[in-house]
Amino acid sequence: MIKKHICTILLAAFAAFYCLHNSSCANTHGSPTGGPKDTIPPVIVATVPDSNATMVSTDTKSSITITFNEYIQLKDANRNILLSPPQKKRVKTRLRGKSLIVSFEEPLDSNRTYTLYFGSALADNNEGNVLQDYAYSFSTGKTLDSLLYSGTVLDYSSLLPLEGVTVALYLNPKDSSVMTQLPDAITRSDKWGYFCFRNLKGCRYTLYAFKDENNNNLYDPGVEDVGFLDSAIIPTIVMDSTRTQLARYSPEDTLNCMARPIESSIYLFREKNGTQYIREYKRTSNKGAYIKFGAMDAVIDSFSVTGIRNDQIIKQFNQLNDSLSFWINDPRKLPDTLTLGIKYMKTDSLGNLAPATEELKLIAPKEKKETEIETNEKRKGPDKKKQREDLLEFKLEADPKLIEQTGYIFTFNEPLVECNSDSIIFTMSTPRKVVTDEQFKFEQDSANVNRYYLRPVTEFKTGNEYSLLIPRATFRDINGFTNDTIENKVTLPTDDRLSTLNLDVTNVDGRYIVELVNETRDKVFRQFIIKRDSLLHFPYLDAGRYSIRITQDKNNNGLLDPGIVLKRVQPEMVRLYKMAGNSVVLEIGEKMDLEQEVDIAGLFKDKEEESVEIAGENENETVEEK
């Protein structure tokens, strides 16, 4: 019995010793459990050849070895690792122990300086801490080029910085170099839109930037965004350890990232396709259809539908003249297939516009089967009335914060053939419940045949309730459909926490679009188009952060037009109103009545460069309540 206990104790002791020994020997590459988390990126301990080495072999058998103090991993190497100047074939990478080996698939040029940018490709193996923006340079000649050039890449509409954009330099460019020729130097923008070329010559370069979606180091027109500088650049700043342009900062280090000097800003835009053809057409209903063209400003010589008189066709181009919608005003039900003949100016094989005639077959969309209609009605529930088949539905917009500028907005799916606007009852009720009939104007939008506006003859008054009653059959469209009775009530805001902004815009020398937008510039709260000095009113503003975006509308089309690369035409200019301290974010609190002055000529003069302002990341000026 005693022997049995002794054996059990010895076996347990041996097992414990075995487990302890193995746990201490295992995971020799892993981090120990417990203790503070590793937040330090890998450290480079050696490079072969040395960084900034000269007379490096041009042979494809040569390679670069970078050794770290710990095991690393590569993150999206094909996208992050960039050789400048680039080759047709991308560099190859492999890991061996704690070293990264970079090899070349084709010979290097002789007597040339190269830079390898690693972006965010290098990270430690355990915690994924990134060695951000490491760059390694070498020369196949006797000297190393030593100049730098820095700048930012911005979206031409929002003026927000763009990350991951390829920025390229060309020494002897042709008009189409960015589309056909590998650059003489290349780099990419970081989270802040910032880029910095290293090891440049003191020569004249032409600078382009493009969103290289297919990673081929060439710009593909029509499918990639692009931007360029009007004039050539000549780098003059010598690289040395004191240059903040060359410092490696964490992308989260806002102050240092924002403080880096820039020499120019590039505005990225998407070019419009220049090849004219019919790229799409469709019949949207029994009476309606559309044609989409490959390029804007389509020119149509003749347009006819078999069996339909020309005066029965309602046509409407969009603002860019690259899409034509049309409807047939005929009370009869039209055939399932319509034949459309169109003669227009089409791009020929030589790239020139020439007359072309095409015949299009327009097939009506399939009507819902009776069983499908019944199923949809059942889903609505027993309490829902069955919708009549000839019901005219439309969208009615009445935003309390915008109605005093826009009025009521009516949007129909297809054109009206009858509008009894005199039957509409429009009344106003004061806070004391005094109700009066209000006169109004009901007008069609000059640019959209399916949109109408209703506005009172007198101004809307804050705090009053406005009631709109639209009787049945007030409207009838080309299908013969009529509306049901609709009632809408709206009260202009009276919340005393809301604020007001007044802009005194001076020195207006053309047509401009002035918009109040949110700080990320993807939402427009209110827009004005001005041609002369104006006092603009922005009421009913919630507390928040805003920007004032101003667009130079040179061709008076109400749109922000992109540029043309081959013709060296820049996009129309957009600028953000800046306050003291160059802040473009306007901080508005509650119960404020604000006034700002905007000097348009000063804002746009000489295409002055925009400083990078990141929504939510910059130091804002506090606006005093007036």
So where are the chain's domains?
44-139, 147-268, 278-363, 388-491, 499-622
Q: Are 547 and 579 in contact (CB under 8 A)?
A: no
Lowest mean pLDDT among 222-236, 370-384, 406-420: 370-384
Instruction: Say how far apart CA 614 and CA 583 lie, in whole Å.
Output: 10
Task: Return the pLDDT at 62.
Answer: 83
Task: Return the pLDDT at 466.
Answer: 96
Residue that is written with structure tokens 């746990």 in the block:
23
Statement: residue 179 has pLDDT above 70: yes
In order of 172, 181, 208, 218, 220, the CA distances from 177 in angstroms are 9, 5, 10, 9, 11
Structure tokens at 324: 């034509």
Q: Average of pLDDT values for 612-617? A: 42
Residue 58, C-beta contacts closer than 8 angstroms, at least 6 positions apart: 107, 108, 109, 110, 140
ω into 251 cis (within 30 of 0): no
Which residues share a beta bridge with 461? none
Classified as helix, coil or strand, 239 is coil
- State the amino acid at position 472 in one-letter form: R
Give the pLDDT band of residue 228 (cuts 50, 70, 90): very high
Task: Return the pLDDT at 72.
Answer: 95
Q: Which tens digits make up the pLDDT trace of 280-317?
A: 999 999 999 999 999 989 999 999 999 999 999 999 99
Task: Return the pLDDT at 370.
Answer: 55
Which residues share a beta bridge with 415? none
Nearest to 305 by CA among 341, 357, 331: 341
Q: Are 193 and 267 in contact (CB under 8 A)?
A: no
Supply the DSSP symbol for 376: H
Structure tokens at 235: 């780098």
Supply the DSSP symbol for 197: E
Strands 135-139 and 113-117 come out as: antiparallel
Dihedral class, residue 363 (left if φ above 0, else alpha if ψ from -120 to 50, else beta): beta
Lowest mean pLDDT among 5-19, 133-147, 294-308, 570-584: 5-19
Residue that is written with structure tokens 């005094």 in the block:
434
Q: Which tens digits make up the pLDDT trace of 333-353?
A: 899 999 999 999 999 999 899
Statement: residue 564 has pLDDT above 70: yes
CATH fold for the domain made of 147-268: Immunoglobulin-like (2.60.40)
Structure tokens at 41: 């990126």
CATH fold for the domain made of 499-622: Immunoglobulin-like (2.60.40)
Q: Which tens digits make up the pLDDT trace of 485-504?
A: 999 999 999 888 999 999 99
First to last CA, the chain: 97
Q: For the chain, how big is the Rg over CA atoms in Å?
A: 33
Q: Which tens digits make up the pLDDT trace of 104-128?
A: 999 999 999 999 999 999 999 988 8
Task: Return the pLDDT at 315.
Answer: 96
- Alpha-carbon torsion (285, 288, 292, 296), positive or negative: negative
Q: Which tens digits make up the pLDDT trace of 432-482?
A: 999 999 999 999 999 899 999 999 999 999 889 999 999 999 999 999 999
CATH of 44-139, one of 3.40.50.720, 2.40.360.20, 3.40.630.20, 2.60.40.1220: 2.60.40.1220
Residues 525-543 as b/e (b if ≥16 CB within 10 A, e otherwise) read: bbbbebeeebebebbbbee
Which residues share a beta bridge with 140? none
Report residue 455: phi and psi, to 5°: -135, 145
Is 278-363 CATH 3.30.70? no
- State the amino acid at position 28 in one-letter form: T
Give the pLDDT band of residue 382 (cuts 50, 70, 90): low
In order of 441, 443, 452, 469, the CA distances from 421 in angstroms are 9, 10, 11, 11
Structure tokens at 394: 């439309």
Instruction: Say how far apart CA 22 and CA 194 lie, in whole Å.
Output: 50
Nearest to 293 by CA among 324, 272, 319, 271: 324
Instruction: Say how far apart CA 625 and CA 553 lie, in whole Å.
Output: 32
H or E stretch covering 405: helix 403-406
Higher pLDDT: 595 or 34? It is: 595
Task: Return the pLDDT at 367.
Answer: 76
Query: Widest CA span of the chain, in angstroms?
Result: 115
Q: What is the dihedral of CA 403, 406, 411, 416, to 10 degrees?
A: 120
Q: Do the domains 44-139 and 499-622 sit in the same CATH topology, yes or no?
A: yes
Nearest to 466 by CA among 368, 399, 514, 544: 399
Q: Average of pLDDT values for 29-57? A: 81
Q: Are 426 and 456 in contact (CB under 8 A)?
A: yes
Is 388-491 CATH 2.60.40.1220? yes
Instruction: Say how far apart CA 539 and CA 496 lie, in whole Å.
Output: 12
Q: Are 504 and 598 in contact (CB under 8 A)?
A: yes
Q: Are 514 and 498 in contact (CB under 8 A)?
A: no
- State the amino acid at position 396 in one-letter form: L
How many percent of the chain have pLDDT more than 70? 88
Classified as helix, coil or strand, 127 is coil
Instruction: Say how far apart CA 459 and CA 445 lie, in whole Å.
Output: 20
Q: Are 86 and 106 in contact (CB under 8 A)?
A: no
How many percent of the chain have pLDDT more than 90? 74
Q: Which tens digits make up the pLDDT trace of 568-582?
A: 999 999 999 988 777
Statement: residue 11 has pLDDT above 70: no
Q: Average of pLDDT values for 412-435? A: 95
In order of 13, 192, 342, the CA distances from 250 in angstroms are 50, 11, 58
Task: Return the pLDDT at 2.
Answer: 46
Task: Return the pLDDT at 556.
Answer: 86
Residues 208-230 as b/e (b if ≥16 CB within 10 A, e otherwise) read: bbbbbeeeebbbebeebbbbbbe
Q: Are 199 and 302 in contact (CB under 8 A)?
A: no
